[in-house]
A and B are shown apart, each in its own frame.
Chain A
């Protein structure tokens, strides 16, 4: 596997054709162009072309005050909006030299894990349609509805939550939240176990996914891929464990790994992580201290001291990082986002070469990349 940007060559033999999957194609969650040179059903070369919805977010951020950036971080990837809020706030807090309150830390972990749940559920659902399993998609969306409602009850919105604040969170839990959450999550746990059972025992599904699109630990490391694709290759790499932020070192959880690094393992990792996240949320609800959910004084215009910060988080898709340089003014001097989906997207073309056209959808969806974030 070469790690240079591969450029597709024009077909030379009459048996080869160039197949464009995109920029508009049912395969995709967002617009990108996947050019394939195929011979029969076999893929000879693959090239990914991105940038169709490039928004220039990092540059935009440099022209906004710190508080104005906060709702925009939601839009980096709508499925990971809580993680993005959180990592941005932690970066700015480090620059400001403040700490969120204890209750706020738990609330952020809680919403981050809920966010991971809904992202994984939708990811598996989309992936299921890509192997022709529409029923599983609808089941997953049904389960996700409960999780989204839980998020909505806390944050007030269903997609772009905009929940974290510098030194705290936007608001406290609504009354009776714990009972409601435990009920929904208990149901979800049962359903996810049954779906896992269904997927692991379906012989057609196993034939479609076992040994397909293998990403080894070495390749993943070289390409900067983290998150479920890396853990599916057997590497126990999870920022929640390696660099515990917020209150993760007080919580008990396993880092889920699988050994094969194929499509099946990546989805299996996500399914098991859902169960693990539910366990984390249950602990959060139990251990959550009372107290203020935000700092008494949150300045409207923040002017951090000059300096730089690199904040990282375990996003649903991998390692999300934000690099902020402050020059002492009310706007960041330089802003840089290191997105997990960008890394997973660039790992895609090498995985496809030598495979079948029919596997493109399954492999692409199992990587769970997010076009919005790739083209941020």
Chain B
């Protein structure tokens, strides 16, 4: 079987369960990728501006008017025109491949993210590139790919800082993927499904039809564990040991320059954005409106995007407010605190899930 057929099979697998026509699916895929791409750009911009406000400084204010909206474009032009350096001692293919793997894992995650659940001609359609029965499992698997990227980059650069950062990242991921997985299982147990669309739908009728009791209310402990583990997973303060500037320069991206660094940087934000989407969908009710009050005539897609932006803001707020943990403390927290709490939450979710079933 040639490489082309493998790719086609994968694409067919991704698109097979989508009820829309191929034409709509294509457009939808483009739109969704564009939306998430734009989401990552929005996050970079928000981070600069919002963090600037919190730290009582101005942030970008030159390119594109006084709010500096075109700053990212200026940065992209700068990155594209910079010299592309591959260190002599680097393992060339690992070095080149790492940012691509990082970005690919981010975009593969986007494929199953539903934005809305539309009722058209008596049928429900999920606005997603692909609707799978096991989409949450798929997300978990694909997000795990990101770790390969950092390790490829760290090992391939043959720089001591980068290798140390890659080791740190692997240690951290092993510790934090477990509580992340367990909290996802608790959500799935409560919703009786591995399909994100059904998980979100289950949140709208937890106790009675249309109650909109989000899972953050049904399992607050699960939300806390999931959010902390996600912070570690996307490598943001207080868990950004892999790029701790004062110790490891730029961590695993130390040897990268120009657009390769840009891709690595962008992939990180992409993961943060997708992470925000997952928090929104699993714990904040996705396209369901506020508890009790309901949707307030606002379309579901705006609820999803609005909540996602709120989660991103929370990421940025945490970055402004907290210092960084030491790597051994991070591992300690992962194994000794988060995993027991996640298991406790699983028991709770099982009991509640069975009672309300």
Query: Once the chains bind, are B56 and A358 in contact (CB under 8 Å)?
Result: no
Rounded to whole Å, the gap between the CB of A371 and the closest CB of chain B is 15
| Contact A361 B246, CB 8 Å, known A135-B54, A139-B56, A207-B329 | yes
Query: Once the chains bind, are B55 and A139 in contact (CB under 8 Å)?
Result: yes
CB-CB contacts below 8 Å: B26-59 with A: 54-57
Residues on the B chain within 8 Å of A17, using CB: 160
Query: Once the chains bind, are A132 and B237 in contact (CB under 8 Å)?
Result: yes
Residues on the A chain within 8 Å of B164, using CB: 19, 41, 357
Please tell me which one of the listed residues A19, A134, A202 contacts residue B160 in the complex, with CB atoms under 8 A apart. A19
Check B328 for interface membership: any CB of A closer than 8 A: yes
* A138 to chain B: closest residue by CB: B55
Residues on the B chain within 8 Å of A134, using CB: 55, 320
Check B344 for interface membership: any CB of A closer than 8 A: no
CB-CB contacts below 8 Å: B306-347 with A: 320-329
Dominant secondary structure of chain A at its interface with chain B: helix
Bound: A17/B163 CA distance, A: 11
Query: Once the chains bind, are B327 and A26 in contact (CB under 8 Å)?
Result: no
Rounded to whole Å, the gap between the CB of B92 and the closest CB of chain A is 23
Query: Once the chains bind, are B57 and A204 in contact (CB under 8 Å)?
Result: no
Check A359 for interface membership: any CB of B closer than 8 A: yes
Bound: A30/B240 CA distance, A: 25
CB-CB contacts below 8 Å: A150-201 with B: none
Query: Once the chains bind, are A132 and B238 in contact (CB under 8 Å)?
Result: yes
Please tell me which one of the listed residues A25, A132, A205, A207 contacts residue B244 in the complex, with CB atoms under 8 A apart. A132
Check A142 for interface membership: any CB of B closer than 8 A: yes
| Contact A132 B324, CB 8 Å, known A357-B164, A358-B247 | yes
Residues on the A chain within 8 Å of B321, using CB: 135
Bound: A207/B168 CA distance, A: 19
Check B105 for interface membership: any CB of A closer than 8 A: no
Check A128 for interface membership: any CB of B closer than 8 A: yes
Residues on the A chain within 8 Å of B54, using CB: 135
Write out, one digit per residue, whether chain B residues 145-168 have a CB within 8 A of any chain A CB (1) or not (0): 000000000000000110010001
Write out, one digit per residue, whether chain A residues 353-365 have a CB within 8 A of any chain B CB (1) or not (0): 0001111110001
Which residue, of A17, A202, A204, has the highest number of chain B Cβ atoms within 10 A? A204
Rounded to whole Å, the gap between the CB of B32 and the closest CB of chain A is 33
Query: Once the chains bind, are A131 and B323 in contact (CB under 8 Å)?
Result: yes
Please tell me which one of the listed residues A131, A356, A365 contacts residue B324 in the complex, with CB atoms under 8 A apart. A131
Query: Once the chains bind, are A133 and B328 in contact (CB under 8 Å)?
Result: no
Query: Once the chains bind, are B322 and A133 in contact (CB under 8 Å)?
Result: yes
Check A129 for interface membership: any CB of B closer than 8 A: yes
* A41 to chain B: closest residue by CB: B327
Which residue, of B56, B57, B323, B328, has the highest number of chain A Cβ atoms within 10 A? B323
Rounded to whole Å, the gap between the CB of A30 and the closest CB of chain B is 15
| Contact A130 B238, CB 8 Å, known A135-B321, A204-B322, A356-B326 | no
Binding site for A on B (CB under 8 A): 54-57, 160-161, 164, 168, 237-238, 240-241, 244-249, 320-329
Q: Could you list 15 A-B pairs, sorted by A, with CB under 8 Å?
A: A20-B160, A41-B164, A41-B328, A132-B238, A132-B323, A135-B54, A138-B55, A204-B324, A208-B323, A208-B324, A208-B325, A356-B326, A358-B327, A360-B247, A361-B244
What are the 9 A-B residue pairs with the smallest beta carbon separation, nearest first?
A132-B324, A361-B246, A133-B323, A138-B55, A358-B326, A130-B246, A131-B323, A27-B246, A132-B323
